[in-house]
Amino acid sequence: MERYQQADPEAPAVLVSALSPALLRFFRSQSATPAQAEGQAEGLLQDTWLRIHRVRHTYRPGEPVLPWIYAIARRVRVDGYRRSRRIIVRETATGVLPERPAESEPRHALPVFEALVAALPEAQREVITMLKVGGLSLEEVARATSSTAGAVKQKAHRGYDRLRKLLRSDAEAAGGAQ
């Protein structure tokens, strides 16, 4: 990031290639439905890199870069949500589209991460994604979410409990179906 601030021409490409996969997973996991996740995630990722480019001068050299970037990504996600809500309010439905046929899934397959965390409240989903997908520390997540480390621990703990219950109920349902 410091090289990017100093106008190193190779720095943006290195930064984008290193962090885009984690940011993309962050955005995908924040979507309520997997069908919407891909298109929205790509758009939010582009918006995030544009915003990082515009505000790169605000990064303080020597500070951890991940909390700074995730704080920007989080704000871009919130702005994207607000923008989509404004569009939905003004849109008029013209007709019903046919449903996509359900893809066949092996009976004993574990649900994908995005499907699991979609069942969590937004705050828990965001914290768990930053911790587990983004690899941030508790303190970094606290900085990115404008929260305290204790609040991050609490949200993560409650999210983990909820995920355990979901996995147990899925396992019991699969066991009873045999």
Contacts of range 18-25, beta carbons closer than 8 Å, 24 or more positions apart: 19/69, 20/45, 20/49, 22/133, 22/134, 22/135, 23/48, 23/69, 23/73, 25/113, 25/129, 25/133, 25/134
| 97 within some domain | no
| 18 within some domain | yes
Report pLDDT for 159.
Answer: 92
| 101 within some domain | no
| 96 within some domain | no
As a whole number of angstroms, the distance between CA 48 and CA 69 comes to 8
For 59-128, the DSSP string reads --TTS-HHHHHHHHHHHHHHHHHHHHHHHHHH-----PPPPPPPPP--TTPPPPHHHHHTTS-HHHHHHH
Q: What's the pTM value of the predicted model, to 2 decimals? A: 0.55
| 50 within some domain | yes
Tell which residue, 147, 131, 27, 117, has the closest CA to residue 76: 27
- Residues in the chain with pLDDT values less than 70: 32-37, 91-111, 175-178
Report pLDDT for 173.
Answer: 75
Query: For residue 128, what is the domain's CATH number?
Result: 1.20.140.160
| 159 within some domain | yes
Report pLDDT for 169.
Answer: 83
Report pLDDT for 171.
Answer: 75
| 26 within some domain | yes
Report pLDDT for 133.
Answer: 85
Q: Give the domain range for residue 72.
A: 2-90+110-177
| 61 within some domain | yes
* Number of structural domains in the chain: 1
Report pLDDT for 39.
Answer: 74
